[in-house]
Amino acid sequence: MVTELFEVLQYGFMQNALIAGTVASIICGLVGVFIVLKRITFISGGIAHTSFGGIGLGYLLSVNPIITAVFFSLVSAIGIGVISKRSHLHEDTVIGVIWAMGMSLGVIFIGMSPGYAPDLMSYLFGNILAVTSWDIQMMLLLAAIISITISAFFKEFVVISFDEEYARAMGIPTEALYLLLLCLVALTVVLLIKVVGIIMVIALLTIPAATASQYSKDIKKIIALSIAFGIFFVISGLWLSYLLDIASGATIVLIAGSTFLLSIGVSEKLRGAGLER
Amino acid sequence: MDRSEIVTIENLTAGYGNKTVIEDINLSIFNTDFLAVIGPNGGGKTTLVKVILGLITPSKGKISVFGKSPKEGRRQIGYVSQNTSFEESFPVNVLDVTLMGRSVRRGPLRRYDNADRSMAHDALDDVGMLEYKDTPIGELSGGQRQRVFIARALVSEPKLLLLDEPTSSVDIPLQQEFYELLKDLNDSIAIVLVTHDMGVVSRYVERIACLNRGLFVHGKEELTAETLEKLYECPVDILAHGVPHRVLKEHGD
C-alpha cells in the first residue's frame, strides 16, 4: 500500500492535487479563523453557493468558469454584505434569498449556453485529481492576494471580530473591513471550487478553524493548527478516495467533519479533566 | 491642571431616523471633570454617547470635541463600552485586548511594535491588571474585564475617558474599588460616565447631568437637602422613574 502511494506520487495529476490541497489548506486556515471568530459561516455559505452563478456565466460566455466566478463571487459578496447590513430584515433571510438566486442564475446560464456543460460536476462537487497547472497558477495568484491582504489588516480584523461596537467608536471603518473580509471569503471560495466543489466549500472554510480553536486560545496558533488540520484532511481524503475509488471532495469533507465531531468529544473530556483537578 | 472646555454641546437634537431621542440639550465638559450622566433607560444616554463619538449626526445644534468635529476629535477620547458584546471563548489574552487600543494610532499595514507593547504594559499596571496580561480575557471576572477595557481605552492616550454603564457587570462589593480607580485616573484626565445606577456614583462625581430627552446639569453641592428644590427642575417624568429619588434620599440623611 505504501509503495503504491509513492508510485502514484509520480503522476503529474497527483502532484498537482497535492499542491492544490496544500495551498487550499493554508488559505483556509488564514480566512477560516476569521469566519469562525466573526461568526460569518452562514454568509460564507451564501457567497459560496451564489458563485455558481459565476460558473454558469463562464459557460454562457465561453470563458473559463473560474474567471467569471472570481468576479461574480466578489460582486455577490459585496451585495450580500451591504444588503444584509443595511436592510431591516434579518440577515439570514437576505442571505437565503441571494444564495438561491445565485444558484438559479447559474442553472439558467448553463441552460442558455449551447451544447452540454462538461466538467459541471467538478465545479459542484470538486475534483482535485483534475486540477490543471492553469488551475494551480490561478490558485497561487488568489492565495497571494488573500494572504497579503490578511497580513496587512490582521489586527483590524481581530479588533472588528472581537468587539465591533468598540471598533466603530474608535473610528475604525468597520463596515469597509467587513466587506473586505467577505471579498476574501469570496476569493477563497473560488480557490476551493476545484478542491471540494461549491456545495462543500463551506466545510473546508470552517471545519479546520473550528477544530483548531478548541485547542488554543491564541489566534496565531489557531491559524497554524488549522492549516495543519486542513493539510491532514485534504491529503488523507485524497489518499483514501484513491484507495477506495470514491469521490475525493466528499471524502475530504467527511474526514474533516468526523474529525471535528470527534474532537468536540475529546476537548469536552479535556475540559472535564481540567475541572476535576 | 488649568480648567478648559473640551466638549461643547449647544442646542443639540438627535435621534434615529424620525425619532427624536434627545432634544435641545446644552452641555460643557471640562478637562478636569468627573461627570455622571444619569437617566432612565431610553432617556437618551447611549444616544448622547454616540453623538459625542460621532456615530450619530445630530439633526439640530452644534457639538465640538476638542475643538473639532466629533469624528476628528474622538481620537482623544478613550471609550469603554458596556461589557456585553464579546464572546467568552474569543482567543485573545489581556495584553492582546489592551493592544487593540493602539490599533487606530498604529494604522493598517503595520504591526504593534515594542513601544505599543510597553504602553499596554503601563496601562495594565495603572489599572492593576498587569499580572493577568497572559490570561485569556474570557477567564476574568466582570470587574477585571472592565479594568482591562479601561486599560485598552487608556493606551490610546486619551484626554477624556467616556464610560457607558461601566459597572453593569461588576459585582457590587467591587464597584467601590472600581470608582476609586476612576477617581485616581481623574487626576490627569476627564471622566464622563453614563449610568442608571446613582447610589455609588454620587460619592465620587463632581457634576451630574440628568438626561431624559432634555438635559439638566447639577453640581455636587446641589445634591444636598437644601437644593432639593433645584433638582425638581428636572422634568417630572425623570422623577417618576424613581432614580433621582434614591439619590436625594441618600444625600438627605
Query: How does pLDDT run across B140-154, given as a tens digit for each residue?
Result: 988 899 899 999 999
Q: Residue range B223-235: average pLDDT?
A: 42
Using CA coordinates, name the residue in chain A closest to B101: A170
Average of per-residue pLDDT values in chain A: 92
**A168 to B71: CB separation less than 8 angstroms, yes or no:** no
Residuewise pLDDT in 10s, chain A (277 residues):
667 767 777 888 889 999 999 999 999 999 999 999 999 999 999 999 999 999 999 999 999 999 999 999 999 999 999 998 888 888 889 999 999 999 999 999 999 998 877 789 999 999 999 999 999 999 999 999 999 999 999 999 999 999 988 898 888 999 999 999 999 999 999 999 999 999 999 999 999 999 999 999 899 999 999 999 999 999 999 999 989 999 999 999 999 999 999 999 888 887 776 554 3
**A172 to B103: CB separation less than 8 angstroms, yes or no:** yes
Q: Per the structure, how many domains does chain B have?
A: 1
- The verdict on B112 touching A (C-beta cutoff 8 Å) is yes
More confident call, A265 vs B197: A265
Grid coordinates representing A220 are 496565531
**A152 to B108: CB separation less than 8 angstroms, yes or no:** yes
pLDDT above 80: residue B227: no
> DSSP of A92-124, one letter per residue?
HHHHHHHHHHHHHHHHHHHHHSSS--TTHHHHH
The label of the residue with cell 458584546 reads B85
Looking at the domain assignment, is residue B127 inside a domain? Answer: no
- The verdict on A218 touching B (C-beta cutoff 8 Å) is yes
Dist. CA A101–CA A105, nearest whole Å: 6
Among A68-72, A272-276, B47-51, B176-180, the range scoring the smallest mean pLDDT is A272-276
Total beta-carbon pairs less than 8 A apart between chain A and chain B: 70
**pLDDT at residue number B231:** 42
Nearest to A28 by CA among A176, A187, A264, A183: A187
Range of the domain at A212: 2-276
Chain B residues closer than 8 Å to A155 by CB: 99-100, 103, 106, 111-112
pLDDT above 70: residue B228: no
**B75 to A213: CB separation less than 8 angstroms, yes or no:** no
Looking at the domain assignment, is residue B131 inside a domain? Answer: no
Q: Please, which pLDDT band fits residue B247 given cuts at 50, 70 and 90?
A: very low
Average of per-residue pLDDT values in chain B: 82
More confident call, B171 vs B7: B7
**pLDDT at residue number B13:** 95
The label of the residue with cell 473591513 reads A177
Task: List the CATH number of the domain containing B25.
Answer: 3.40.50.300
**pLDDT at residue number B246:** 41
pLDDT above 80: residue B156: yes
Looking at the domain assignment, is residue B107 inside a domain? Answer: no
DSSP state of A126: -
Chain A residues closer than 8 Å to B54 by CB: 171
Share of chain A above pLDDT 70, in %: 97
The shortest C-alpha distance from B110 to chain A (Å) reads 7
pLDDT above 90: residue B85: no
**pLDDT at residue number B250:** 38
Looking at the domain assignment, is residue B227 inside a domain? Answer: yes
Dist. CA B5–CA B48, nearest whole Å: 17
- The verdict on A153 touching B (C-beta cutoff 8 Å) is yes
DSSP state of A38: T
**pLDDT at residue number B51:** 95
Task: List the CATH number of the domain containing A123.
Answer: 1.10.3470.10
Asked if residue B38 lies in contact with residue B198, where contact means CB atoms within 8 angstroms, the answer is yes
| Tens digits of residue pLDDT in B111-148 | 899 999 999 999 999 999 999 999 999 999 888 998 99
Nearest to B131 by CA among B142, B144, B143: B144
Dist. CA B251–CA A143, nearest whole Å: 65
**A162 to B156: CB separation less than 8 angstroms, yes or no:** no
pLDDT above 90: residue B82: no
pLDDT above 70: residue B63: yes
**pLDDT at residue number A169:** 86
* pTM, to two decimals: 0.88
Asked if residue B79 lies in contact with residue B53, where contact means CB atoms within 8 angstroms, the answer is yes
Range of the domain at B174: 5-87+160-252
Nearest to A210 by CA among A192, A230, A195: A230
End-to-end CA distance of chain A, in Å?
44
- The verdict on B46 touching A (C-beta cutoff 8 Å) is no
**pLDDT at residue number A271:** 75
**pLDDT at residue number B235:** 41
A38, A162, A168, best to mutate vs chain B, most B CBs in 10 Å: A162
Q: Per the structure, how many domains does chain A have?
A: 1
Looking at the domain assignment, is residue B211 inside a domain? Answer: yes
Burial of B28 (0-12, 13-18, 19+ CB in 10 A): middle
3-state secondary structure chain B: CCCCEEEEEEEEEEEECCEEEEEEEEEEEECCCEEEEECCCCCCHHHHHHHHCCCCCCCEEEEEECCECHHHHHHHEEEECCCCCCCCCCCCEHHHHHHHCCHHHHCCCCCCCHHHHHHHHHHHHHCCCHHHCCCEHHHCCHHHHHHHHHHHHHCCCCCEEEEECCCCCCCHHHHHHHHHHHHHHCCCCEEEEEECCHHHHCCCCCEEEEEECEEEEEEHHHCCHHHHHHHCCCCHHHHHCCHHHHHHHHHHC
Asked if residue A202 lies in contact with residue A45, where contact means CB atoms within 8 angstroms, the answer is yes
Asked if residue B44 lies in contact with residue B237, where contact means CB atoms within 8 angstroms, the answer is no
Beta-bridged to residue B5, according to DSSP, are B30
Grid coordinates representing B192 are 464622563
| Tens digits of residue pLDDT in A208-222 | 999 999 999 899 999
Dist. CA A80–CA A99, nearest whole Å: 9
The shortest C-alpha distance from B134 to chain A (Å) reads 10
Please enumerate in sequence order all residues whose Cβ is within 8 A of that of A16, keeping only pairs 6 or more positions apart, or say none: A131, A132, A133, A135, A136
Grid coordinates representing B220 are 455636587
Burial of A96 (0-12, 13-18, 19+ CB in 10 A): middle
The label of the residue with cell 437576505 reads A94
Helices A174-196 + A65-86 axis angle, to 10: 140
| Tens digits of residue pLDDT in A101-156 | 999 999 999 999 988 777 899 999 999 999 999 999 999 999 999 999 999 999 99
The label of the residue with cell 455559505 reads A45
